[in-house]
């Protein structure tokens, strides 16, 4: 009987230690998962870019020109003259060059938003023999830049000429290409070298 009681005690202690180890490991796993999901830090929402805001790359008034607009929020840094985000009236000559330059300086972007042409009823208009796509500044017309498909090399320009026209729905981008020519790229395809070649073409 004493031997059986001793075995039971050892077994109970073993289960208790095993349970404790499982609890600790489970807690660590949850903590790691929380870190991988970005913890409790929330991504800032896009803002309205109307009201005479000047492009942080070139000084042009946002909303006065055709084509996509964009905004970048940075961690521990902000653009000259105002709080986050940095804002732009063009992607090819504004947002992307600024983004590449600040990344070389060690700035960390926490959110990048661009006009989402899948979310608006965009219009095209002709001027001086060229076709331009409409522009939007309201906060709800922006989408996550990393998730967009961009139309490039089409017959439709932005405010400063060739631009990258973002669509959150791939089908919308493909339909645009089918009608107005060009091809598509993803965010990670756009490097400073690629952009320089695109603007030269």
Confidence check: pLDDT of 64 > 70: yes
pLDDT in tens, 72-98: 999 999 999 999 999 999 999 999 999
Report, as an integer, the average pLDDT of 121-142.
96
CA-CA distance, 4 to 17, in Å (whole number)?
20
Please give the pLDDT value at position 201: 77
For residues 3 and 11, the answer to whether their CB atoms sit within 8 Å is no
* Torsion of Cα atoms, 88 then 172 then 124 then 143, to 10°: -20
Domain ranges of the chain: 1-40, 70-200
- Give the residue with greater pLDDT, 128 vs 5: 128
- Do 53 and 62 contact (CB within 8 A), yes or no? yes
What's the predicted TM-score (pTM) here? 0.80
Across the beta sheet with 130-133, what order do the strands follow?
Answer: 124-127, 130-133, 156-157
Return the percentage of the chain with pLDDT > 90, whole number.
76
């Amino acid at each position: 009987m004493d031997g059986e009681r001793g075995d039971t005690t050892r077994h109970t202690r073993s289960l208790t230690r095993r349970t404790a180890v499982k609890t600790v490991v489970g807690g660590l796993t949850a903590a790691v998962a929380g870190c991988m999901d970005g913890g409790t830090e929330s991504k800032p929402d896009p803002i309205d870019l109307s009201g005479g805001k000047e492009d942080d790359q070139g000084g042009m008034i946002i909303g006065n020109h055709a084509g996509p607009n964009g905004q970048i929020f940075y961690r521990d840094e902000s653009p000259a003259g105002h709080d986050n985000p940095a804002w732009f009236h063009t992607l090819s000559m504004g947002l992307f060059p600024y983004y590449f330059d600040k990344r070389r300086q060690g700035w960390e972007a926490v959110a990048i938003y661009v006009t989402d042409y899948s979310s608006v009823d965009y219009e095209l208009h002709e001027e001086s023999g060229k076709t331009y796509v409409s522009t939007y500044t309201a906060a709800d017309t922006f989408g996550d830049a990393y998730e967009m498909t961009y139309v490039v090399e089409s017959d439709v320009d932005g405010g400063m000429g060739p631009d990258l026209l973002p669509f959150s729905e791939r089908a919308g981008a493909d339909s645009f290409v089918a009608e107005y020519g060009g091809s598509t790229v993803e965010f990670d395809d756009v490097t400073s070298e690629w952009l320089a070649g695109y603007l030269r073409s």
